[in-house]
């Protein structure tokens, strides 16, 4: 350890250029756990620069996007897989009462494309805003390449809050199965009091457009590498100093849904019965990030959209 500290600064810079995020995280852990306090600012600077470049240039995918109708049970149902673990205070008779919460996962098809734009704000020249659009910002169409689930049922209440999402950078273009290095962001609102999460616009008695929009706190960031010899994934949780900016600000998620009255076949009675039901369809999805780098740095100017 002490021999490493004796390296000249220029050698340190050359070393850092060839280290992955997992290597930098290992150095950060070794230095911060040392009995003698060691300045890790150089390591942090390089790590943040690597993360920023990944956010700007690597392919991105959103997955595990879960919405809820915000009924009392939804948080508990996400934390536990078994219905018998539901909290009993909200149910007089858990054996006969139906669980009150419900959730819906927007399982984007692997062909779903995500694009990004960057812009700076006059009031904050040291921060760049990055927006990630699903389907290039165009409305989803169930007849084109299966971009998103169609008419997910969330009852009459419908989706009111996003409670869980992951965004990955570095994913292969054809499938997540071919990834070898991925920067993985995990967001959730579990345990967070989210208010005024949605708004409705009534177009007709038969159609309502709902926009769900609110901040989502960041839970953790991990770096995933594939060991080509063992074909096993190595997962490294990154130090909070490298992403503390999003720990306080989170990201803003904006999704739209349409509520439409549909005629469907109901088979619950054992026979096909034609009934009318309200169903929800996801029509768009985007996330808004704030990056702690000035647009004038030139890092993002070469590729503002991709």
Which of 97-101, 254-258, 282-286 is least confident?
Answer: 97-101
Q: What pTM, to 2 d.p., does this model score?
A: 0.78
What digits encode the pLDDT tens for the residues 2-43? 455 556 656 666 676 778 888 889 888 887 877 666 677 878
**pLDDT tens figures, 259-306:** 877 777 766 666 777 777 777 888 899 999 988 776 566 665 544 444
Among 23-32, 161-170, 224-233, where is mean pLDDT lowest? 224-233
Query: Is pLDDT above 50 for 146?
Result: no
- Paired tokens of 31: 């230095």
Q: What is the pLDDT of residue 88?
A: 52
């Amino acid at each position: 350890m002490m021999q490493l500290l004796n390296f000249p600064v220029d050698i340190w810079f050359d070393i850092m250029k060839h280290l992955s995020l997992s290597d930098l995280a290992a150095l950060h852990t070794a230095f911060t756990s040392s009995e003698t306090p060691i300045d890790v600012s150089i390591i942090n600077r390089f790590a943040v620069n690597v993360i920023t470049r990944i956010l700007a240039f690597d392919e991105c995918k959103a997955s595990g996007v879960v919405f809820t109708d915000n009924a009392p049970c939804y948080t508990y149902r996400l934390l536990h897989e078994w219905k018998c673990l539901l909290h009993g205070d909200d149910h007089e008779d858990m054996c006969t009462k139906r669980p009150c919460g419900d959730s819906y996962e927007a399982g984007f098809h692997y062909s779903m494309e995500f694009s990004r734009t960057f812009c700076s704000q006059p009031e904050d020249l040291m921060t760049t805003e990055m927006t990630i659009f699903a389907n290039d910002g165009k409305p989803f169409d169930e007849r084109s390449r299966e971009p998103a689930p169609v008419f997910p049922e969330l009852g009459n209440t419908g989706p009111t809050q996003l409670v869980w999402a992951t965004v990955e950078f570095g994913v292969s273009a054809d499938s997540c199965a071919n990834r070898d290095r991925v920067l993985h962001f995990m967001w959730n609102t579990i345990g967070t009091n989210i208010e005024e999460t949605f708004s409705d616009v009534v177009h007709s008695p038969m159609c309502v457009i709902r926009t769900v929009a609110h901040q989502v706190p960041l839970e953790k960031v991990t770096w995933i590498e594939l060991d080509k010899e063992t074909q096993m994934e190595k997962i490294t949780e990154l130090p909070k100093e490298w992403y503390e900016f999003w720990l306080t600000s989170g990201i803003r998620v904006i999704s739209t849904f349409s509520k439409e009255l549909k005629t469907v076949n109901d088979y619950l009675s054992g026979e096909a019965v034609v009934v009318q039901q309200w169903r929800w369809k996801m029509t768009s999805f985007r996330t808004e990030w704030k990056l702690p780098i000035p647009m004038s740095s030139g890092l993002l100017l070469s590729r503002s959209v991709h």
